[in-house]
Amino acid sequence: MRNATDRAARTRARLAACALDLFEQHGFEATTTVQIAAAAGVSEMTLFRHFPTKDQLVTGDPYDPAIAEVVAAQPASMPPLARASAGVRTAWARLPEPETGDVRRRVRIVASTPSLIAAMHAGTRATEDAIAHALIGGGASGRDARIAAAALLAALTAALLDWAETDDGTLGEAIVSALDVLDGDTP
């Protein structure tokens, strides 16, 4: 079982790497899934087993599910935005810093492709909903929870896009900077 899991992880990584290269060379819209599969040395069917849609090659975020769980675990006595911010800080501290180069490349491709911006916002909306539900579960009103989750995700998205364009620091530093702004911890 381990060999199959390792092989699947290697195939997934190879597909993502080939996709990034092709998207940077030809653009997202002009690159086909057939080209990506061929570059990775697999069939198009294999590509779709790993990435059900082409946009998931660049828009997937493995951290989103962990964030809502940690937000839910924050003290319910905290105001919703502070609780959400503390949850993201805690979740981020527990997660490994991703490889900066590939993440930055992915975000740049997303930022320059209108259809991917829409996909990113759809993913952000799912995370926003999960965080809002976690806050509601802790006693926040629906309105306050939705506002806090939306403010949090807007700040994180703005920081992520700025980070990708500026080549400044790590993703973790960009996230912490956005949280500092939300928490009023900036000069």
Q: Evaluate whether 181 touches 88 at the Cβ level (below 8 Å).
A: no
Chain region(s) in the chain for CATH 1.10.357.10: 58-183
pLDDT attached to residue 62: 64
Amino acid type, 95:
L
User: What is the average pLDDT value for the chain, to the nearest integer?
Assistant: 90
Chain region(s) in the chain for CATH 1.10.10.60: 2-54
Q: Residues 85-109: pLDDT tens digits?
A: 999 999 888 887 777 788 888 989 9
Both tokens of 164, joined, read 């990708």
CATH of 58-183, one of 3.40.50.300, 3.60.10.10, 1.10.357.10, 3.40.640.10: 1.10.357.10
Q: Residues 66-80: pLDDT tens digits?
A: 788 899 999 999 999
Task: Assess whether pLDDT exceeds 70 at residue 56.
Answer: yes
Both tokens of 26, joined, read 């030809």
Both tokens of 151, joined, read 């403010």
Q: Evaluate whether 165 touches 82 at the Cβ level (below 8 Å).
A: no
Task: Assess whether pLDDT exceeds 70 at residue 1.
Answer: no
Report the alpha-carbon angle 137-142-145, nearest 5: 75
2-54 adopts what CATH topology?
Arc Repressor Mutant, subunit A (1.10.10)
